[in-house]
Structure 1
Amino acid sequence: MRKLPCFIFAFTIMLASALTFAGCHSGAKGSDANAAETPSATVVAVARGSIVHKLNLAGQFQPYQVIDVHAKVSGYIRHIYVDIGDKVHQGQVLAILEVPELDAQLRGTGAELARSKDEITRAEHEVSRTESEHSALHNDYKRLKQASASQPGLIAEQELDDAQSKDLASEARVDAAKSALAAAKQQSEGAKADNERVGDLADYTRVTAPLDGVIIWRYADTGALIQAGTSSDTQSLPIVKLSQSTLLRLRLPVPEDAVEFIHEGATVTVNVDAIHRSFEGKVVRFTRNLNLATRTMETEIDVDNKDLSLTPGEYANTTIELERHDNVLTVPVQSVIRNGSQQSVLVVDASHHVQTRNIVTGLQGSNLIEVKSGLAEGDLVITGNQSNYQPGESVMTNLQPSTALDIDEEKSGGTK
């Protein structure tokens, strides 16, 4: 009979323990359910970084200058000293022409120049003779005049008039001699100019290189008759074609949407696959005009080629840095929500609640976009599936690392 109260007591303790365990287990399930109901959001901290916009273009090397070397005078080629592929220097003799009639003209103008110099000498002597004669006659007239003035009637008027007439006549002969001397000098200048002209033409029988370069074509051989290349009306044959290949132009067709970023001095990275060579150049000129057929603007880079390692006509792959914004606030491109002209992001605040922030953006790269206003460094922005979140909603954050540099390389034609 004493065992029954003990049994009842033990049963009561077990029942209380079971109820307590059940209550605790129910509370744990409630906590897990609340945690499962809070959504998770992938976020990135707003950070400072650099965004670079580059353009990749294919370019072609062109000689800095290409000229046809013509003869200034007509004649037969006596000697030609160069052939295709030869490197020549400015002033180097390329060919010598034979022009027999030009030699005769040169001798004739030389003789005429010598004759004109002799005429000047004769005229100078004539001036000296007439001046001496005038001096003597003038002095005679002065003496007669003075004697007549001191003793009137001593000198006959007829004699005085004859002396005066001779004085005036001798003065006129002096003026004539001086005029003849001036004419002789002018004639001599004309003879000298004609001699120099023919001499210059004779010098043109030596055809020289007007610049440093490479002979890329030869049109004539020894004995060929060459016409003077002095008029566009005559189809004169050049002697050689000369290319200034020691300095090249690298021409790039910049597409229309990149024209506004092109400026003199812009850095260009050049890769020449044919010779496995890379180097940097600078934009030196551009046409400031779009080709209506291709909608591109020709842009040039000068490339030093003294060793002739680059060949005109070769292609090169180039990269031009169009824009670069350093130390700016950036967020991932996929974090930006666009609604017409308005742009915004979803920000998770310190209490883990979602907020909408309107922002103003700048330069956009392939992964990052510049934020000019609306965010501060360190703000957490949601980077994807923004439609799954509502302003004011509580979320758990999954922080991803930020990117510090975004280089956006655009291919020619507007494709990235």
Structure 2
Amino acid sequence: MPVAVVGPATLQNNVILSAEFAPFQDVDVMAKVAGYVRNIKVDIGSHVRAGDVLAVLEVPEIQDEMQKAKAGVAAAQANVVTAQAGIQRAEASANIAHLSFQRISDVATKNKGLVPRQEVDVAQSKDAEAVAQLASAKSELQAALESKSAADSEYARAGAMMQYATICAPFNGIVTKRYANTGSMIQAGISSQSQAMPVVRLAQYDVLRLTLPVPVTDAAEVKDGQSVDVNISSPPRAIQGKIARFAGSVQMSTRTMDTQVDVPNADGSLLPGMYAQVHLHLAARSNVMSVPVDAVDGLGTSVEQAYVVRDGMVHVVQVTTGLQTATRLEVLSGLKPGDQVIVGRHTGLSEGQKVQTRAATYENDAPHT
């Protein structure tokens, strides 16, 4: 029977995956409003910064709305001035009416019978009417102020829509496609996809993404910030990177978890579409007891066991395993250094069976991965 000796080893769980570089961001830049392209300032390959003007649209309807809104603000302001003047007149009339009523009332009180009661009532009525007119004038001013506020809002809305006629870059990047030319009719981006045409396609190249399909068996070991080695074949070079983010769930169709690595590309030497080989360093154990993978039956189940040979007899031992690499296993319990375990197929073996042992061929190598 081929056997291997339980011994110390340094185990590393390294996963090698291939991935394709993709832009960090890649979008079709749409227009918020419909209009004709008056001027387009970029072409394929143009490098732009966030906020740079990509194109300017001609939108006569919005220009008309701006003029109307501006006129509306002026008219509303004039109404406010008129209402304020009306309040001043109403206050003057109210003051005169109140003084007249107060004087005639005082005379009628001091010299009874001198002033007819009807004149006192008329003066009181005029005083009350003046107060009501003042309240009405104040209400008219409030209405004028509300109209002014509405006019200001409409003017601001028209101004905001006018700003949308200038299409700017949302981030630093390179124009990878130009859809429109001078004079092209651009539909608003909120229209149906069959009608709306983008202006340009913009990609962010200073940072690229690598999306790695990590197998479900290794997904639990993935952590943010883990170091990775990115190997590029053309031209040959190696880049040190880190895991930036991962999906946190496994896709049922592929049994893999999307994991992303951000790779700096300030010099632009990396291009989207290039392939890279990525080495994920998921786990490492130094100086741990280990055996070959095929020395343990029932891996991943509640019953893991190994077949140990002692004094020429087979003993079935329950074991607990830890880190697993492509060739070896970490043994947490059940075995001790120097034990001989049967490797390969264990069919037909039973407790107490006598066997003759020989060293497994790969045991000529040092027990490490």
Bucket of the pairwise TM-score, normalised by the shorter protein: 0.7 to 0.9
Length, aligned pairs only: 355
| Aligned CA distance change for structure 1 residues 354 and 176 (closer, same or farther; 3 Å) | same
Match of 2:183 among 223, 235, 240: 223
| Aligned CA distance change for structure 1 residues 133 and 252 (closer, same or farther; 3 Å) | same
CA-based RMSD of the aligned residues comes to 3.3
- The reply to whether residue 69 of structure 1 matches residue 67 of structure 2 is no
Question: Is contact 1:144-1:160 (8 Å) kept?
Answer: yes
Q: Distance in 2 between matches of 1:128 and 1:316?
A: 80
Q: Which residue of 2 aligns with 1:343?
A: 306
Q: Distance in 2 between matches of 1:396 and 1:222?
A: 82
Q: Distance in 1 between matches of 2:190 and 2:235?
A: 42
- The reply to whether residue 126 of structure 1 matches residue 86 of structure 2 is yes
C-alpha displacement of 1:376: 3.7
Question: Is contact 1:63-1:247 (8 Å) kept?
Answer: yes
- TM-superposition CA deviations, 1:60-93 (whole Å, max 9, x none): 1222222221222232222111011111111100
Moved more, 337-346 or 368-377: 337-346
Q: Which residue of 2 aligns with 1:28?
A: none
Please show how residues 387-402 of structure 1 align to structure 2 within 5 Å: none
- The reply to whether residue 381 of structure 1 matches residue 340 of structure 2 is yes
Q: Distance in 1 between matches of 2:20 and 2:116?
A: 103
Q: Distance in 2 between matches of 1:250 and 1:337?
A: 36
Opposite residue 127 of structure 1, the aligned amino acid is: I
Question: Is contact 2:306-2:342 (8 Å) kept?
Answer: no
Any idea what SS the aligned residue of 1:53 has?
A: strand
- TM-score normalised by the chain length of structure 2: 0.83
- The reply to whether residue 136 of structure 1 matches residue 96 of structure 2 is yes
| Aligned CA distance change for structure 1 residues 129 and 277 (closer, same or farther; 3 Å) | farther
Task: Compare the two structures and name the one with the higher helix fraction.
Answer: 1
Q: Distance in 2 between matches of 1:253 and 1:394?
A: 45
Match of 1:195 among 122, 138, 155: 155
Opposite residue 169 of structure 1, the aligned amino acid is: E
Instruction: Mark the runs of 5 or more structure 2 residues left unpaired by the alignment.
Output: none
Please show how residues 235-384 of structure 1 align to structure 2 within 5 Å: 235-278=195-238, 279-286=240-247, 288-292=249-253, 294-332=254-292, 336=295, 341-347=304-310, 356=315, 358=317, 360-362=319-321, 363-377=323-337, 379=338, 381=340
Any idea what SS the aligned residue of 2:266 has?
A: coil
C-alpha displacement of 1:151: 3.0
Any idea what SS the aligned residue of 1:246 has?
A: strand
Q: Which residue of 1 aligns with 2:135?
A: 175
Q: Distance in 2 between matches of 1:197 and 1:394?
A: 91
| Aligned CA distance change for structure 1 residues 229 and 281 (closer, same or farther; 3 Å) | same
| Aligned CA distance change for structure 1 residues 80 and 333 (closer, same or farther; 3 Å) | closer
- TM-score normalised by the chain length of structure 1: 0.75
Q: Distance in 1 between matches of 2:248 and 2:329?
A: 32
Q: Distance in 2 between matches of 1:395 and 1:208?
A: 76
C-alpha displacement of 1:196: 1.4
Opposite residue 317 of structure 2, the aligned amino acid is: N
Q: Which residue of 2 aligns with 1:405?
A: 368
Q: Distance in 2 between matches of 1:337 and 1:212?
A: 54
- TM-superposition CA deviations, 1:353-405 (whole Å, max 9, x none): 8885835141343454322223444x363778999xx99999999xx888463
Any idea what SS the aligned residue of 2:33 has?
A: coil
Opposite residue 178 of structure 1, the aligned amino acid is: K
Question: Is contact 1:67-1:242 (8 Å) kept?
Answer: yes
| Aligned CA distance change for structure 1 residues 221 and 364 (closer, same or farther; 3 Å) | closer
| Aligned CA distance change for structure 1 residues 280 and 372 (closer, same or farther; 3 Å) | same
| Aligned CA distance change for structure 1 residues 253 and 365 (closer, same or farther; 3 Å) | closer
C-alpha displacement of 1:272: 1.8
Q: Distance in 2 between matches of 1:395 and 1:276?
A: 47
C-alpha displacement of 1:277: 2.9
C-alpha displacement of 1:275: 3.4
Q: Which residue of 1 aligns with 2:11?
A: 51
- TM-superposition CA deviations, 1:244-281 (whole Å, max 9, x none): 22232211122333333334333332212123232222
Q: Distance in 2 between matches of 1:383 and 1:395?
A: 8
- TM-superposition CA deviations, 1:150-175 (whole Å, max 9, x none): 33223211110011011011111111
Moved more, 157-166 or 325-334: 325-334
